[in-house]
Amino acid sequence: MNMVERLGLVVWVKDLKSAKSLSRMGNIHYISKRFKYVILYIDRKSADQWIKRIERLPYVGRVERSYRSSISLDFGKKVDLPTT
């Protein structure tokens, strides 16, 4: 079974009704009604093309990439906290 590399995007939208149409471009994970953003997962290989298409949509304010792939998730090292 092939695992597809995914990229998370935060898409800030102006209209929530139109935001549902983003499901054609990737998998919608979450829609925030209060803050008007959508968490969307797309294929990493064609990410730049999809981001350009999404940014051109009239109901999109801005698009941000997820930083999850660049964050180290290795918590094996013990951190010494200064004592007062």
pTM for the full model? 0.80
Overall domain count for the chain:
1
In a domain, 38, yes or no: yes
Q: What angle do CA 41, 51, 54 make, to 5 degrees?
A: 95
Name the phi and psi angles at 60, rounded to 5: -100, 130
| pLDDT, mean of each 10-residue run, the chain (84 residues) | 90 94 95 96 95 96 90 72 72
CATH number of the domain at 34, please.
3.30.70.80
- What is the model's pLDDT at position 6? 93
- What is the model's pLDDT at position 69? 78
In a domain, 54, yes or no: yes
Tell me which residue range forms the domain holding 29. Answer: 6-68
